[in-house]
Amino acid sequence: MRMFNDCLPCIARGGLDAARLATNDEQLQLRIVKNVLKELCTFDLNSPPPLMAKFIAKTVKKITGVSDPYRDIKKKYNDFALELFPELEEKVKGASFEIAVRLAIAGNIIDFGTHNTVGKQKVIDTIQDSLTIDINGFVKPLHDAAKKAEKILWLADNAGEIVFDKLLLKKMDQDKIIYAVRGGPTQNDATIEDAEYVGLTKMVRVIDTGASIPGVLLDYCSDDFIKHYHQADLIISKGQGNFETLDHQDNRIFFLFKAKCPVVADYAGCKLNDIVIKNCYK
């Protein structure tokens, strides 16, 4: 997915958010934002928006020395999701595959790339809504593909959200799954450290993409990740960043996300705030 004009102010705002998380010094914040605006002036709009996050992270680190400005937010929402998990796990016990899918997608609301604030109440409200609203897409093809596949690559998205993923992983054959997180800090996306913290490494094999980008751009990924990517029969792609960067014509990929951005919603053919399951054949 290419960049649209409406992406530009959102990216600039993301630069300011990261700057404020990294430092209270307004002059340093201003330097970061000016660098982001300067880069946006020459950035190739045919590139996917998540690529700018790599530049923002590099700029924040260069100016402030902070390599992970979202560290505290990630821990906060990992902890919050873990507090919610026992109750959610009870909801899923004995329930359908669809309920687990709905809750896994609900976790995608924990996204500080599209929102500078989320709030715990918004997460709780999204969980409740996800159990009743219509899904934009179909669960059965995903369920059938998961049963049929011999090798499943799961592309994770955000910290906190990854706890919700555990609900759906419990409904699947975990021995077939490779679970991939980001290759380093980028926005509030999950890394190996987050996967270990929430107990995912005890459930499935966890790898990283080799790239500190809030999406999957194969040109930036490690050889090991690319090997698993090409070997997979099924790819479960969580979140908007992965949707923005991956091939929409690859019928192995099922995109699962909450439509939080009007540009992404329009591109995906859904409504803002929809819970989405998108596959090129369904």
Contacts of 153 (CB under 8 A, 6+ apart): 177, 178, 180, 228, 229, 231, 232, 234, 235, 236
Residue range 230-258, pLDDT digits in tens = 999 999 999 999 999 999 999 999 999 99
Is residue 232 situated within a structural domain?
yes
Indicate whether 126 and 57 sit together in one domain.
Answer: no
156 near 181, Cβ under 8 Å? Answer: yes
Listed residues 43, 64, 85: the one ending a domain? 64
258: domain CATH number is 3.40.50.10880
pLDDT at 262: 94
The answer to whether residues 36 and 201 touch, using CB atoms and an 8 Å cutoff, is: no
The answer to whether residue 118 scores a pLDDT higher than 70 is: yes
Closest CA to 193 of 86, 81, 107, 78: 78
Is residue 119 scored above 90 in pLDDT?
A: no
Domain boundary among 40, 64, 88: 64
- Are 26 and 118 found together in one domain? no
Give CA–CA dist 267/262, Å, rounded: 8
pLDDT in tens, 42-68: 999 999 999 999 999 999 999 999 999
Number of domains in the chain: 2
- pLDDT score, position 116: 65
Kindly state the tokens that stand for 52.
Answer: 């700018």
Q: What is the pLDDT of residue 280?
A: 84
Q: Within this chain, do residues 135 and 152 fall inside the same structural domain, yes or no?
A: yes
For 113-127, 134-148, 206-220, 261-275, which range has the lowest pLDDT when averaged over its residues? Answer: 113-127
Strands 275-278 and 253-258 come out as antiparallel
In the predicted model, what is the mean pLDDT of the chain? Answer: 95
DSSP SS3 for 22: helix
Query: Domain containing 44: what range?
Result: 7-64
